């Protein structure tokens, strides 16, 4: 006959559950229930005025024939891939430069790089929208004063430029955060590894490739996952700057969902908006699943 857990162990478990219970209840009420409710609404046709009508997979079938959704999905995937690459490689290189030791100057640069990360996405979008305004914006004014009138553009109103602008703004805001994350990871690398590499005649680039990158695998996975999630959920900056325009060119899944559910010129379509939200949820779960799988491989 197998004996049960010792009384002290049962008491510890009960104490742990007591501490976890409030957070679990808050999560279930304010996060878990809304997610489940959104998924349920995604199978309905509902404008928040008339009674909801169950239509099964009707909203998801509508996505297949919706050109705006297809474009928003393509833009979301494209921006996520590009920003994940840029905001993984660039911060690593910048953090490696800071790790070389610039004294107080290095701390100043790190602070300046991190400042945009503490500014809200809404404020960031508003500031850049003013900066890039075609007639009175600072950028076009500076180009005009420099005699470069031919480079002046309607940066946010041109389909060819708007996505490039969004990439620049996103990198500007988030670069400093990931630099700090990588810099913290670099502090945990044993200096003797670099000393041994230098003794073997390794150049700075070879040390980065053979020592820094392998030793930062866990940190890199975290950074990549954060970038994937931020790319999939991107909304604030784009909505403030372009509201998905021009001609739906900068719509991502988040802005299109908001347009359908809350900013439609006609009646809102909460069913279709909830279906779009569910697609975003599935993509985010995929990114988290990728992180867990990569972490498991590292442990094994």
Task: Tell me the C-alpha distance between 263 and 271, whole Å.
Answer: 14
Mean pLDDT of the chain, nearest integer = 89
Per-residue pLDDT of 28-61, as tens digits, reads 999 999 999 999 999 999 988 888 899 999 999 9
Task: Tell me the C-alpha distance between 89 and 179, whole Å.
Answer: 10
Per-residue pLDDT of 246-271, as tens digits, reads 999 999 999 999 999 998 888 889 99
Q: Residue 14 — very low, low, confident or very high, per pLDDT cuts 50/70/90?
A: confident
113: nearest Cα among 185, 186, 171: 171
Measured in degrees and rounded to the nearest 5, phi and psi for residue 50 equal -85, 170
* Mean pLDDT of the region 134-141: 87
> To the nearest 10°, the Cα dihedral for 200, 201, 203, 206?
-40
237: nearest Cα among 94, 74, 79: 79
In sequence order, the 6+-apart residues with CB closer than 8 A to the CB of 138 are: 130, 131
User: Which pLDDT score is estimated for 150?
Assistant: 87
Per-residue pLDDT of 180-195, as tens digits, reads 999 989 888 888 888 8
Question: Which CA distances in Å does 86 have to 200, 212, 224, 283?
Answer: 31, 18, 10, 20
Q: Beta partners for 53?
A: 45
Please, which contacts does 210-218 make with residues 24 or more away whose CB atoms are closer than 8 Å?
212/92, 212/96, 212/186, 213/92, 215/185, 215/189, 216/92, 216/182, 216/185, 216/186, 216/189, 217/298, 218/185, 218/295, 218/298
Per-residue pLDDT of 271-296, as tens digits, reads 999 999 999 999 999 998 988 888 78
Q: Beta partners for 44?
A: 54
* Mean pLDDT of the region 197-204: 85
Task: Tell me the C-alpha distance between 63 and 18, whole Å.
Answer: 44
CATH topology of domain 73-299: MetI-like fold (1.10.3720)
250: nearest Cα among 75, 70, 126: 75
| Residue-level length of the chain | 300
Burial state string for 213-247 with b = 16 or more CB within 10 A and e = fewer than 16: eebbeebbbbbbbbbbbbbbbbbbbbbbbbebbee
Query: What pTM, to 2 d.p., does this model score?
Result: 0.88
8 Å CB contact between 44 and 220 = no
**Percentage of the chain modeled with pLDDT above 90:** 55
195: left (phi over 0), alpha (psi -120 to 50) or beta: alpha
User: Which pLDDT score is estimated for 2?
Assistant: 53
Q: Residue 7 — very low, low, confident or very high, per pLDDT cuts 50/70/90?
A: low
Q: Residue 103 — very low, low, confident or very high, per pLDDT cuts 50/70/90?
A: low
């Amino acid at each position: 006959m197998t004996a049960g857990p010792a009384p002290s162990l049962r008491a510890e478990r009960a104490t742990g559950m007591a501490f976890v219970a409030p957070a679990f209840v808050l999560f279930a009420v304010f996060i878990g229930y809304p997610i489940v409710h959104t998924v349920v609404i995604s199978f309905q046709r509902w404008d928040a005025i008339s009674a909801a009508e169950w239509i099964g997979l009707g909203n998801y079938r509508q996505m297949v024939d919706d050109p705006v959704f297809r474009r928003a999905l393509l833009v979301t995937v494209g921006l996520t891939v590009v920003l994940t690459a840029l905001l993984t490689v660039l911060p690593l290189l910048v953090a490696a430069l800071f790790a070389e030791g610039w004294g107080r100057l290095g701390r100043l640069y790190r602070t300046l790089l991190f400042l945009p990360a503490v500014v809200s996405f809404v404020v960031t979008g508003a500031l850049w929208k003013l900066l890039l305004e075609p007639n009175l914006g600072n950028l076009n004014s500076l180009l005009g004063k420099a005699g470069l009138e031919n480079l002046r553009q309607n940066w946010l109103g041109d389909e060819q430029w708007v996505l490039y602008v969004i990439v620049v703004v996103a990198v500007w805001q988030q670069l400093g955060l990931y630099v700090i994350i990588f810099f913290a990871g670099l502090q945990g690398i044993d200096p003797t590894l670099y000393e041994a590499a230098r003794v073997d005649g390794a150049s700075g680039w070879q040390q980065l490739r053979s020592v820094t990158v392998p030793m930062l695998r866990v940190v890199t996975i975290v950074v990549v996952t954060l970038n994937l999630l931020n790319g999939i959920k991107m909304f604030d900056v784009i909505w403030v700057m372009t509201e998905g325009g021009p001609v739906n060119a900068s719509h991502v899944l988040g802005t299109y969902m908001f347009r359908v559910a809350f900013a439609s010129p006609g009646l809102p379509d909460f069913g279709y908006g909830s279906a779009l939200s569910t697609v975003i949820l599935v993509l985010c779960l995929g990114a988290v699943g990728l992180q867990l799988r990569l972490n498991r491989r590292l442990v094994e």
